[in-house]
Amino acid sequence: MSVKLRKVAIIGTGHVGSHVAFALATQGEVDELYMVDKDEAKALAQATDVNDAVSYLPHHVTAKAVKAEEVGDCDILVMSAGPLPNPDQDRLETLGSTVEVLKDILPRIKKSGFKGFIISISNPADVVAAYIQKQLNYPKEKIISSGTALDSARLQRLVSETFHISRRSLTCFSMGEHGGSAMVPWSNVAIAGKKLDELQAELPERFPQFDRPKMVEDMKFGGYLVLQGKGSTEFGIATSVVELIRAFFHDEKKVMPMSCLLTGEYGQHDVFASVPAILGKDGVEGILTIHMTPEEKAQFDASCDRIREYIAKAETY
Protein backbone atom coordinates (compact mmCIF):
# COMPACT_ATOMS: atom_id res chain seq x y z
CA MET A 1 0.00 0.00 0.00
CA SER A 2 1.33 3.43 -0.93
CA VAL A 3 0.28 6.76 0.56
CA LYS A 4 -0.28 9.62 -1.87
CA LEU A 5 1.67 12.72 -0.95
CA ARG A 6 0.07 16.16 -1.36
CA LYS A 7 1.97 18.06 -4.03
CA VAL A 8 1.58 21.77 -4.81
CA ALA A 9 3.34 23.70 -7.57
CA ILE A 10 4.00 27.41 -7.04
CA ILE A 11 4.51 29.26 -10.33
CA GLY A 12 6.31 32.49 -9.48
CA THR A 13 8.30 32.42 -6.23
CA GLY A 14 8.53 36.12 -5.41
CA HIS A 15 6.97 37.81 -2.38
CA VAL A 16 3.51 36.30 -2.85
CA GLY A 17 4.38 32.83 -4.14
CA SER A 18 7.05 32.23 -1.50
CA HIS A 19 4.68 33.22 1.31
CA VAL A 20 2.04 30.83 -0.02
CA ALA A 21 4.66 28.09 -0.03
CA PHE A 22 5.79 28.78 3.53
CA ALA A 23 2.23 29.12 4.84
CA LEU A 24 1.43 25.71 3.34
CA ALA A 25 4.52 24.25 4.99
CA THR A 26 3.95 25.75 8.43
CA GLN A 27 0.25 24.85 8.47
CA GLY A 28 0.91 21.27 7.42
CA GLU A 29 -1.12 21.42 4.22
CA VAL A 30 1.51 20.11 1.80
CA ASP A 31 4.07 17.31 1.61
CA GLU A 32 5.99 18.34 -1.51
CA LEU A 33 6.43 21.85 -2.90
CA TYR A 34 7.47 22.38 -6.50
CA MET A 35 8.93 25.88 -6.90
CA VAL A 36 8.98 27.34 -10.43
CA ASP A 37 10.37 30.73 -11.44
CA LYS A 38 11.95 32.24 -14.54
CA ASP A 39 14.75 33.17 -12.13
CA GLU A 40 15.88 29.64 -11.38
CA ALA A 41 18.31 30.81 -8.71
CA LYS A 42 15.45 32.42 -6.83
CA ALA A 43 13.33 29.27 -7.04
CA LEU A 44 16.25 27.24 -5.68
CA ALA A 45 16.85 29.76 -2.90
CA GLN A 46 13.19 29.73 -1.85
CA ALA A 47 13.06 25.92 -1.88
CA THR A 48 16.27 25.71 0.17
CA ASP A 49 14.95 28.25 2.67
CA VAL A 50 11.80 26.17 3.21
CA ASN A 51 13.85 23.00 3.57
CA ASP A 52 16.07 24.67 6.18
CA ALA A 53 12.96 25.37 8.28
CA VAL A 54 11.82 21.74 8.37
CA SER A 55 13.89 20.88 11.46
CA TYR A 56 11.62 23.15 13.48
CA LEU A 57 8.30 22.28 11.86
CA PRO A 58 6.01 19.64 13.38
CA HIS A 59 5.97 17.58 10.18
CA HIS A 60 8.16 16.86 7.18
CA VAL A 61 7.97 18.93 3.99
CA THR A 62 10.15 18.70 0.89
CA ALA A 63 10.60 21.70 -1.40
CA LYS A 64 12.45 21.63 -4.69
CA ALA A 65 13.10 23.97 -7.59
CA VAL A 66 11.82 22.55 -10.87
CA LYS A 67 10.95 23.62 -14.39
CA ALA A 68 7.35 24.19 -15.41
CA GLU A 69 7.48 21.05 -17.53
CA GLU A 70 7.96 19.00 -14.33
CA VAL A 71 4.73 19.87 -12.45
CA GLY A 72 2.57 17.24 -14.14
CA ASP A 73 2.00 15.05 -11.08
CA CYS A 74 1.07 17.91 -8.72
CA ASP A 75 -2.41 18.06 -7.23
CA ILE A 76 -2.65 21.86 -7.19
CA LEU A 77 -0.97 24.62 -9.17
CA VAL A 78 -0.87 28.15 -7.73
CA MET A 79 -0.29 30.76 -10.43
CA SER A 80 1.46 33.71 -8.81
CA ALA A 81 3.75 34.80 -11.66
CA GLY A 82 3.64 38.34 -12.97
CA PRO A 83 4.18 41.87 -11.68
CA LEU A 84 2.75 43.45 -8.56
CA PRO A 85 0.79 46.68 -9.14
CA ASN A 86 2.43 49.94 -8.17
CA PRO A 87 0.80 51.72 -5.24
CA ASP A 88 -0.83 54.20 -7.65
CA GLN A 89 -1.83 51.58 -10.23
CA ASP A 90 -5.08 49.64 -10.65
CA ARG A 91 -4.56 45.86 -10.68
CA LEU A 92 -6.16 45.74 -14.13
CA GLU A 93 -3.31 47.85 -15.49
CA THR A 94 -0.88 44.97 -14.91
CA LEU A 95 -2.77 42.76 -17.40
CA GLY A 96 -0.47 43.24 -20.39
CA SER A 97 2.66 42.34 -18.45
CA THR A 98 1.01 39.31 -16.86
CA VAL A 99 -0.26 38.02 -20.21
CA GLU A 100 3.29 38.14 -21.56
CA VAL A 101 4.42 35.91 -18.69
CA LEU A 102 1.50 33.54 -19.26
CA LYS A 103 2.28 33.19 -22.96
CA ASP A 104 5.60 31.69 -21.97
CA ILE A 105 4.53 29.55 -19.01
CA LEU A 106 1.16 28.08 -20.07
CA PRO A 107 2.48 25.98 -23.01
CA ARG A 108 5.08 24.54 -20.66
CA ILE A 109 2.46 23.67 -18.05
CA LYS A 110 0.36 22.04 -20.75
CA LYS A 111 3.40 20.06 -21.88
CA SER A 112 3.84 18.77 -18.30
CA GLY A 113 0.49 16.98 -18.50
CA PHE A 114 -0.83 18.75 -15.40
CA LYS A 115 -4.51 17.87 -14.80
CA GLY A 116 -4.99 19.09 -11.23
CA PHE A 117 -6.68 22.07 -9.61
CA ILE A 118 -5.54 25.61 -10.52
CA ILE A 119 -5.71 28.66 -8.25
CA SER A 120 -4.86 31.95 -9.94
CA ILE A 121 -3.58 34.76 -7.74
CA SER A 122 -1.63 36.70 -10.39
CA ASN A 123 -3.00 40.18 -11.00
CA PRO A 124 -5.59 40.92 -12.23
CA ALA A 125 -6.75 37.66 -10.66
CA ASP A 126 -10.23 37.24 -12.19
CA VAL A 127 -9.06 38.10 -15.70
CA VAL A 128 -5.98 35.91 -15.43
CA ALA A 129 -8.11 32.94 -14.35
CA ALA A 130 -10.32 33.47 -17.41
CA TYR A 131 -7.27 33.70 -19.68
CA ILE A 132 -5.73 30.51 -18.27
CA GLN A 133 -9.01 28.62 -18.51
CA LYS A 134 -9.44 29.57 -22.15
CA GLN A 135 -5.83 28.96 -23.19
CA LEU A 136 -5.72 25.53 -21.55
CA ASN A 137 -9.35 24.72 -22.41
CA TYR A 138 -9.63 23.73 -18.76
CA PRO A 139 -12.71 22.29 -17.01
CA LYS A 140 -14.46 25.17 -15.24
CA GLU A 141 -14.77 23.31 -11.94
CA LYS A 142 -10.97 22.81 -11.81
CA ILE A 143 -9.85 26.44 -11.95
CA ILE A 144 -10.57 29.43 -9.74
CA SER A 145 -9.06 32.70 -8.72
CA SER A 146 -8.72 33.45 -5.03
CA GLY A 147 -10.78 36.49 -5.98
CA THR A 148 -12.38 38.29 -3.06
CA ALA A 149 -11.33 35.73 -0.44
CA LEU A 150 -8.76 38.26 0.77
CA ASP A 151 -11.10 41.23 0.32
CA SER A 152 -13.60 39.37 2.50
CA ALA A 153 -10.99 38.86 5.21
CA ARG A 154 -10.28 42.59 5.13
CA LEU A 155 -14.00 43.32 5.37
CA GLN A 156 -14.35 40.94 8.30
CA ARG A 157 -11.51 42.75 10.08
CA LEU A 158 -13.23 46.10 9.59
CA VAL A 159 -16.64 44.86 10.78
CA SER A 160 -15.05 43.05 13.72
CA GLU A 161 -13.18 46.19 14.79
CA THR A 162 -16.33 48.30 14.44
CA PHE A 163 -18.49 46.12 16.68
CA HIS A 164 -15.82 44.36 18.78
CA ILE A 165 -17.15 40.98 17.66
CA SER A 166 -15.04 37.92 16.81
CA ARG A 167 -14.56 37.42 13.09
CA ARG A 168 -15.55 33.79 13.58
CA SER A 169 -19.06 34.99 14.47
CA LEU A 170 -19.46 36.91 11.20
CA THR A 171 -21.04 35.99 7.89
CA CYS A 172 -19.50 38.73 5.86
CA PHE A 173 -18.03 38.65 2.35
CA SER A 174 -17.30 40.62 -0.80
CA MET A 175 -18.32 39.66 -4.35
CA GLY A 176 -17.43 40.53 -7.93
CA GLU A 177 -13.97 41.72 -8.92
CA HIS A 178 -10.87 41.41 -6.79
CA GLY A 179 -10.26 45.07 -7.42
CA GLY A 180 -11.83 48.47 -7.71
CA SER A 181 -15.37 47.35 -8.54
CA ALA A 182 -15.71 44.81 -5.69
CA MET A 183 -19.02 45.07 -3.84
CA VAL A 184 -20.53 43.91 -0.55
CA PRO A 185 -24.03 42.39 -0.32
CA TRP A 186 -24.81 44.08 3.00
CA SER A 187 -28.27 42.53 3.11
CA ASN A 188 -26.54 39.16 3.71
CA VAL A 189 -24.12 40.30 6.43
CA ALA A 190 -24.95 38.57 9.70
CA ILE A 191 -23.61 38.06 13.21
CA ALA A 192 -24.23 34.59 14.66
CA GLY A 193 -26.87 34.06 11.99
CA LYS A 194 -28.82 37.27 12.70
CA LYS A 195 -28.85 39.86 9.92
CA LEU A 196 -26.87 43.02 10.62
CA ASP A 197 -29.83 45.14 9.48
CA GLU A 198 -32.00 43.54 12.19
CA LEU A 199 -29.35 43.96 14.88
CA GLN A 200 -28.89 47.63 14.06
CA ALA A 201 -32.66 48.17 14.24
CA GLU A 202 -33.16 46.24 17.48
CA LEU A 203 -29.93 47.05 19.36
CA PRO A 204 -28.78 50.43 18.00
CA GLU A 205 -26.47 51.18 20.93
CA ARG A 206 -24.60 47.88 20.65
CA PHE A 207 -24.65 47.82 16.84
CA PRO A 208 -24.67 51.46 15.71
CA GLN A 209 -24.99 52.61 12.13
CA PHE A 210 -21.77 53.29 10.22
CA ASP A 211 -20.72 54.54 6.81
CA ARG A 212 -21.05 51.38 4.71
CA PRO A 213 -19.73 52.85 1.41
CA LYS A 214 -16.64 54.11 3.25
CA MET A 215 -16.03 50.67 4.74
CA VAL A 216 -16.20 49.13 1.25
CA GLU A 217 -13.65 51.68 0.05
CA ASP A 218 -11.43 50.94 3.06
CA MET A 219 -11.72 47.23 2.24
CA LYS A 220 -10.64 47.85 -1.35
CA PHE A 221 -7.83 50.17 -0.26
CA GLY A 222 -6.50 47.62 2.23
CA GLY A 223 -4.19 45.98 -0.30
CA TYR A 224 -2.75 49.32 -1.38
CA LEU A 225 -2.15 50.31 2.25
CA VAL A 226 0.02 47.21 2.62
CA LEU A 227 1.60 47.74 -0.80
CA GLN A 228 2.57 51.33 0.00
CA GLY A 229 4.05 50.37 3.34
CA LYS A 230 6.10 47.29 2.45
CA GLY A 231 6.00 46.77 -1.31
CA SER A 232 3.74 43.73 -1.54
CA THR A 233 0.92 41.88 0.18
CA GLU A 234 2.09 38.58 1.61
CA PHE A 235 0.52 37.19 4.80
CA GLY A 236 -3.14 37.87 3.97
CA ILE A 237 -3.08 36.43 0.46
CA ALA A 238 -0.98 33.45 1.59
CA THR A 239 -3.41 32.42 4.32
CA SER A 240 -6.37 32.99 1.98
CA VAL A 241 -4.88 30.60 -0.56
CA VAL A 242 -4.03 28.02 2.10
CA GLU A 243 -7.67 28.11 3.22
CA LEU A 244 -8.73 27.24 -0.34
CA ILE A 245 -6.12 24.49 -0.61
CA ARG A 246 -7.14 23.03 2.75
CA ALA A 247 -10.76 22.82 1.57
CA PHE A 248 -9.60 20.94 -1.54
CA PHE A 249 -7.23 18.47 0.14
CA HIS A 250 -9.61 17.65 3.00
CA ASP A 251 -12.76 17.63 0.87
CA GLU A 252 -14.30 20.11 3.30
CA LYS A 253 -17.18 21.22 1.05
CA LYS A 254 -16.34 24.67 2.41
CA VAL A 255 -18.38 27.66 1.28
CA MET A 256 -16.38 30.83 0.80
CA PRO A 257 -16.05 33.56 -1.81
CA MET A 258 -13.87 32.64 -4.78
CA SER A 259 -13.78 33.67 -8.41
CA CYS A 260 -15.45 30.99 -10.58
CA LEU A 261 -16.54 30.83 -14.18
CA LEU A 262 -20.20 31.83 -14.19
CA THR A 263 -22.40 30.09 -16.74
CA GLY A 264 -25.79 31.57 -15.96
CA GLU A 265 -25.58 32.04 -12.20
CA TYR A 266 -26.70 35.53 -11.18
CA GLY A 267 -27.65 36.07 -14.82
CA GLN A 268 -23.96 36.20 -15.78
CA HIS A 269 -22.18 34.27 -18.51
CA ASP A 270 -18.56 33.85 -19.60
CA VAL A 271 -17.02 35.76 -16.73
CA PHE A 272 -14.93 34.86 -13.69
CA ALA A 273 -16.28 36.71 -10.65
CA SER A 274 -16.28 36.03 -6.93
CA VAL A 275 -19.40 34.42 -5.51
CA PRO A 276 -20.02 32.05 -2.59
CA ALA A 277 -19.05 28.60 -3.84
CA ILE A 278 -18.59 25.09 -2.45
CA LEU A 279 -15.03 23.78 -2.64
CA GLY A 280 -14.05 20.13 -2.17
CA LYS A 281 -11.81 17.43 -3.63
CA ASP A 282 -13.45 17.74 -7.05
CA GLY A 283 -12.91 21.48 -7.17
CA VAL A 284 -15.87 23.84 -7.43
CA GLU A 285 -18.79 21.59 -6.53
CA GLY A 286 -21.51 24.23 -6.59
CA ILE A 287 -22.23 27.95 -6.67
CA LEU A 288 -24.67 29.41 -4.16
CA THR A 289 -27.05 32.07 -5.43
CA ILE A 290 -27.87 34.54 -2.67
CA HIS A 291 -30.65 37.10 -2.67
CA MET A 292 -29.46 40.65 -3.19
CA THR A 293 -31.28 43.96 -3.14
CA PRO A 294 -31.73 45.62 -6.57
CA GLU A 295 -28.94 48.06 -5.72
CA GLU A 296 -26.57 45.25 -4.72
CA LYS A 297 -27.38 43.26 -7.85
CA ALA A 298 -26.70 46.33 -10.01
CA GLN A 299 -23.30 46.74 -8.32
CA PHE A 300 -22.48 43.08 -8.88
CA ASP A 301 -23.53 43.27 -12.54
CA ALA A 302 -21.37 46.36 -13.05
CA SER A 303 -18.40 44.57 -11.51
CA CYS A 304 -18.91 41.61 -13.84
CA ASP A 305 -19.09 43.96 -16.81
CA ARG A 306 -15.75 45.48 -15.83
CA ILE A 307 -14.10 42.07 -15.53
CA ARG A 308 -15.60 40.97 -18.84
CA GLU A 309 -14.20 44.07 -20.55
CA TYR A 310 -10.68 43.13 -19.51
CA ILE A 311 -11.16 39.45 -20.33
CA ALA A 312 -11.77 40.58 -23.91
CA LYS A 313 -8.78 42.92 -23.75
CA ALA A 314 -6.49 40.07 -22.64
CA GLU A 315 -6.99 38.43 -26.03
CA THR A 316 -5.53 41.48 -27.80
CA TYR A 317 -2.09 41.32 -26.18
CA gap 224, 241 in Å, rounded: 19
Catalytic residue among 15, 59, 60, 178: 178
CA gap 13, 238 in Å, rounded: 12
DSSP H helical ranges for the chain: 15-27, 40-53, 95-112, 125-136, 149-163, 196-202, 212-230, 235-249, 294-314
Task: Please confirm whether the linkage preceding 139 is cis (ω < 30° from 0).
Answer: no
Helix axes 235-249, 15-27, angle to 10 degrees: 50
- CA distances 216 to 156, 161, 285, Å, are 11, 14, 29
Let me know if 178 is a catalytic residue.
Answer: yes
CA gap 303, 317 in Å, rounded: 22
Residues taking part in catalysis: 178
